[in-house]
Amino acid sequence: MAKRRPLSDKRRPIQRKVSTPIMPHAKPRLVVIDTDPGIDDAIGILLALVAPEFSIAGITTVAGNIGIGTTTRNAGRLLAFAGRDDIPVFTGAAVPLSRPGPEPLNLHGVDGIGGVPLPPPARGPEAAPAVEWLAELLLKEPAGTIDILALGPLTNLAQLVLDHPDAAQRVGRIIAMGGAIHERGNVGPRSEFNLWADPEAAATVVASGLPLVLVPLDVTRRVRASREFTETLSKSGKPAAAMVAHLIESYFEAATHQESRPLHDPCVMLYALAPELFRIEELRLSVDVGNAENAGALTVDANGFPVQVALGVDAPAVLDLLSRQLIAH
Ligand code: RIB
Ligand code: CA
State whether the beta carbon of 152 lies less than 6 angstroms from ligand 1. Answer: yes
Could you tell me if residue 22 is inside a domain? no
Q: Does 61 map to a domain?
A: yes
pTM for the model: 0.92
279 lines ligand 1 (CB under 6 A): no
Q: Determine the distance separating the centroid of ligand 2 and the alpha carbon of 36, expressed in angstroms.
A: 5
Cα–Cα distance for residue pair 276/284, rounded to 1 Å: 22
What is the domain count for the chain? 1
Instruction: Name the catalytic one among 25, 108, 264, 329.
Output: 264
Is the minimum distance from the CB of 34 to ligand 1 under 6 angstroms? no
Q: Residue 329: pLDDT above 70?
A: yes
Q: What is the CATH number of the domain that holds 315?
A: 3.90.245.10
d(CA 291, CA 196): 10
Flag the least confident range among 139-153, 195-209, 247-261: 247-261
For the CA atoms of the chain, what is the radius of gyration? Answer: 18
In a domain, 3, yes or no: no
Sheet holding 29-35, edge to edge: 89-91, 54-61, 29-35, 146-150, 171-177, 212-215, 305-313, 278-287, 298-300
* Residue at 308 is within a domain: yes
Q: Answer whether 151's CB lies under 8 Å from 114's CB.
A: no
Q: How far is the CA of 264 from the centre of ligand 1 (A)?
A: 6
Active site residue 246: no
Please tell me the predicted confidence (pLDDT) of residue 17.
52
CA 64 to ligand 1 centroid distance, Å: 8
Return the ligand number nearest the Cα of 33. 2
Would you say residue 8 has pLDDT above 60? no
Domain span at 173: 27-328
